[in-house]
Amino acid sequence: MEQLFNIDFKRINSSNDKEAADRKKNFELFLKRGLPNKKNENWKFSDLNYIISKNFKNIRNNDEYKLDEQIESIHDFDHNKVILVNGSLKSYDLNFEEKEKVKIETLKSLEDFHDQSKNNLDYLNKALSIGGFNLEVQQNYKCKKPIIIYNYFTANLNNKIINNSNKIKVSQNSELTLIEYNIGEKSKFVKNTFEKIYIDKGAVFKNIILQKKKFNGYFYKNISGIQDYNSSYQNFILSSGLKFNKIEIDMILEKEKSSCHILSGLNLSKEEHQEIKTQINHLAPNCKSYQKIKNVLESDSKGVYQGKIFVKDIAQKTDAYQLSKALILNDQAEFNAKPELEIYADDVKCSHGSSSGSIDEEAIHYLMTRGIEFREAKKLLIKGFLNEIFDNIPEEKIRTFLEKSIAVQIDEIR
Amino acid sequence: MKKEELKNQEYKYGFTTDIENFKAPKGLSEETIRFISKIKNEPKWMLEWRLKAFNRLKVLKEPNWQKPKYPKINYQDLYYYSAPKSMKDKPKSLNEVDPKLIETYNKLGIPLNEQKRLSGVAVDAVFDSVSVATTFKGELDKKGIIFCPISEAIQKHPELVKKYLGSVIPLSDHYFATLNSAVFTDGSFVYIPPNTRCPMELSTYFRINASETGQFERTLIIADKGSYVSYLEGCTAPMRDENQLHAANVELVALDDAEIKYSTVQNWYPGDKDGVGGIYNFVTKRGACRGKNSKISWTQVETGSAITWKYPSCILQGDNSVGEFYSIAITNNHQKADTGTKMVHLGKNTKSKIISKGISAGQADNTYRGLVDIGAKAKNSRNYTQCDSLLMGNKCGAHTVPYIRNKNSSSTIEHEATTSKINEDQLFYCNQRGLNQEEAVSLIVNGFCKEVLQQLPMEFAVEAQKLVSISLEGSVG
């Protein structure tokens, strides 16, 4: 049997011999256990080993970071630009912000990632990570404009794997809106990203993950974060268009009054498979978490939501909510959910709801009696279903831009 | 009832009965299985079936994904067969049964004699491993209903047993189910002929008496076309320091237009306040709605056992079939429960409903784990799930782990779950009207469980309501 990975360590820069040795050691550990498969509870609904083995062989690591064309900017609203090419920081332009208040550089050390060893992909990442970015917002500084990360993937990535790691620190009483904008060319490749987030006292961090258009990416992203007193984290996942995508979020609400919102609106079409897995750990009293996951599933697409709320015994007055909804438009499509609660404190308000089904026939009928064509009526309802996610975005320009992006996707529905 | 009285009323079924027991040699081996089969005077095919299960067992591993962890069970240190000695020659009527046994049942409150006739319950009592006597046989015989110990069914109705045994829970299903298939000692067998409505509630009472024994009973209920049966199961066990294993298999088969209602009140010994002793209740219960328009309904009230680990399930094969699951699981002190259901929708227009109420107090852990799986061919199917948890104190835990799979665009799944504590306003309201804390909690909890309690047949509903109050004693105020 042909081997799945064909990694050349000479093509990865290591700062010293120890690092090089560590990489090899981690790679050995990864090979020993292989890619996660459905026997692993976490991967029950998304058998990564099967998916990767079916679509790839002889995967090589990438060492080319040359931008092969001009990146088309977003003109809908003012923003700071950061450009990543194949996962590596290429250039940035933070002109809207005060000097020294926002810093970004290539991530040099994987120190922050040491304590975790959550799954085999972590070993793989440590073995092959080429860094990524390290972003820090200084204390008491509220960013004037959002930062867009143009996450660009070149056309020559066929059969390659990209491993990178990012670190984001939002210091005390600061604010940041970060939009990750994925732009891919025709190539078919794998990406494995680990991201560490620190949100200090009173800080607000908004993260939006968006896809420009469909491309052949097989992505895994692991986000783990720690929230301090009265901090706020909001993540909007709108990454429709990848062949495979799993986003795993592990947030620790370490101090009182912190809040965590995860919202997602996905519209999956042919041969697309996306999973959102979350674990929200309520470790302190008076924290709030809110999750709303919405999927529109066409063709033979597959949507998965695994969400867990953990409430420690001292975390009284926790308010935690989880909702997952799926619209299944085709009999080949599939929606799987595992909304989990693990609760050890009694004075809490925790609930979850999950529903899946087809589009409301009566609503279609209603619209059609008012002269709207069937296809239009269906689109209108889908739009309404997904747009609810944007209600939580206060900036009107960004909201309009996102609604526009989603509308383009919905237009493709037959 | 005053709190003090409640305290003294720890586990009222915790008496042991001094009856000489006749046991199989200790340990799990081919000899033990041959011994059980021989003593039951079983035909060859049955022994072969058991041995096949035993061979399968050798390659299976004990599952370990469940939430409650327990010390490793030494299967070689258990007795797999234990029967009251005086039963070796089976009694022909109740008069021949050891009076001490009858006394035990009277203590348990099972209506084995005339009381039975009054309450209209036919009981097949399983004491350790052998059915003591089956009552009301005559009346059932008239209708052609077969209600007897499964060991008798193997002798008298081999064609039915052969056809249905293991057809819902296959030999190689999982560790405990396979263990049961290899060593099961007795249990009930019910067959309802076509277009017959069983005139009374059928009932079994399980009791583990001897120490170091496992209880492995096997129940098989077949409801033929257009028939109806309601079956009740109750369980108790004496207080002992060691943990006892109970690994039963229950198989239900409902053919076209048939309905089976299966109710359980499980009150095995839960261990003492510090979590010493108690029953490990690892039970496999599964029903197959094979025919069109068939219905299986599970109702359970789980108040006992040190560890409860079971998922009464429905396989909805027939078109328009219906599966229901109503459950109350109460855990106090160090009890652990990991229970729920599986609803597997295969046929068209199938419907299922799950109502689960979990209550945790003390240091207990209560998990609802369930699966709703709607297959690609199960058009227009529906599921509704509601699981609510109530927590009393911050040393206990309540967990919900539902698996939801929908592969069909015309089917709908709805799931809701909440976790909360007893509403202070409701407590205050009750207190104001002169109820003490304990009474108020009992009232509110009963209200919380009402949706499930009202599914129980009358005889059980009263007992269950009392159990709900007793199980929570000392957990408030």
Asked whether the predicted pLDDT for residue B6 surpasses 60, the reply is no
- Range list of β-strands (E), B67-187: 82-84, 121-127, 130-134, 146-149
**Would you state the pLDDT for residue B10?**
55
Q: Calculate the alpha carbon distances from B63 to A67, A338, B309, B335, B336 in Å.
A: 52, 20, 11, 20, 16
Residues A147, A179: contact at Cβ < 8 Å?
Answer: yes
Count, residues in chain A: 414
Are the Cβ atoms of A341 and B392 closer than 8 angstroms? no
Q: Calculate the alpha carbon distances from B244 to B126, B238, B264 in Å.
A: 16, 10, 19
Query: For A91-106, what is the mean pLDDT?
Result: 92
Give residue B392's pLDDT band: very low, low, confident or very high (50, 70, 90): confident
**Would you state the pLDDT for residue B105?**
54
Domain map (residue ranges) of chain A? 9-362
What is the rounded distance in angstroms from the CA atom of residue B191 to the CA atom of residue B176? 25
Print the domain residue range for B16: 3-471
**Would you state the pLDDT for residue B294?**
96
Higher model confidence: residue A349 or residue B473? A349
Asked whether the predicted pLDDT for residue B3 surpasses 50, the reply is no
Give residue A19's pLDDT band: very low, low, confident or very high (50, 70, 90): confident
**Would you state the pLDDT for residue B173?**
86
pLDDT digits (tens, 9 = 90+) for A242-256: 999 999 999 999 999
Asked whether the predicted pLDDT for residue A116 surpasses 70, the reply is no
**Would you state the pLDDT for residue A43?**
92
What is the rounded distance in angstroms from the CA atom of residue A116 to the CA atom of residue A123? 10
Residues of B in contact with A345 (CB under 8 A): 391, 394
Residues B403, B372: contact at Cβ < 8 Å?
Answer: yes
Query: Domain for residue B415, yes or no?
Result: yes
Query: Domain for residue B99, yes or no?
Result: yes
Question: Which residues are registered as beta bridge partners of A194?
Answer: A165, A222
pLDDT digits (tens, 9 = 90+) for B145-182: 888 888 888 999 999 999 999 899 988 888 899 999 98
Query: Domain for residue B15, yes or no?
Result: yes
User: Which residue, B334, B340, B80, is CA-closest to B212?
Assistant: B80
pLDDT digits (tens, 9 = 90+) for A186-233: 889 999 999 999 999 999 999 999 988 888 999 999 999 999 999 999
B370 to chain A, closest Cα gap in Å = 10
Instruction: Please state the ipTM of this predicted complex.
Output: 0.84
Candidates A343, A352, A362, A382: best to mutate against B (most CBs of B within 10 A) is A343
Q: Tell me whether A381 touches chain B (CB under 8 Å).
A: no
The average confidence (pLDDT) of chain A is 90
Query: Domain for residue B477, yes or no?
Result: no
**Would you state the pLDDT for residue B134?**
54
Asked whether the predicted pLDDT for residue B84 surpasses 70, the reply is no
Which residues, including other chains, have CB under 8 Å from residue B232's CB and lie 6 or more apart?
Answer: B121, B201, B202, B203, B204, B263, B264, B265, B457, B459, B460
- Range list of β-strands (E), B37-165: 82-84, 121-127, 130-134, 146-149
What is the rounded distance in angstroms from the CA atom of residue A390 to the CA atom of residue A321? 18
Give residue A166's pLDDT band: very low, low, confident or very high (50, 70, 90): very high
**Would you state the pLDDT for residue B140?**
80
**Would you state the pLDDT for residue B475?**
62
Asked whether the predicted pLDDT for residue B344 surpasses 80, the reply is yes
B182 to chain A, closest Cα gap in Å = 27
Higher model confidence: residue B10 or residue B55? B55
> Max Cα separation, chain B?
68
What is the rounded distance in angstroms from the CA atom of residue A47 to the CA atom of residue A37? 5
Query: Domain for residue B297, yes or no?
Result: yes
Query: Domain for residue B476, yes or no?
Result: no
Asked whether the predicted pLDDT for residue B20 surpasses 80, the reply is no
Residues B262, B233: contact at Cβ < 8 Å?
Answer: yes
Query: Domain for residue B245, yes or no?
Result: yes
pLDDT digits (tens, 9 = 90+) for A252-293: 999 999 999 999 999 999 999 999 999 999 999 999 999 999
Give the rounded percent of residues in chain B with a pLDDT score beyond 70: 78
Sequence letter at residue B326? Y
Query: Domain for residue B255, yes or no?
Result: yes
Residues of B in contact with A339 (CB under 8 A): 400, 402, 404, 415, 417
What is the rounded distance in angstroms from the CA atom of residue B118 to the CA atom of residue B370? 39
**Would you state the pLDDT for residue B305?**
81
Least CB–CB distance from B391: residue in A328, A343, A358: A343
Number of H helices, E strands in chain B: 12, 24
Give the rounded percent of residues in chain B with a pLDDT score beyond 90: 32
B389 to chain A, closest Cα gap in Å = 10
Strands B365-374 and B259-266: unpaired
Number of structural domains, chain B?
1
Q: Which of A9-23, A63-77, B10-24 has the lowest mean pLDDT?
A: B10-24
Which residues, including other chains, have CB under 8 Å from residue B108's CB and lie 6 or more apart?
Answer: B13, B205, B207, B236
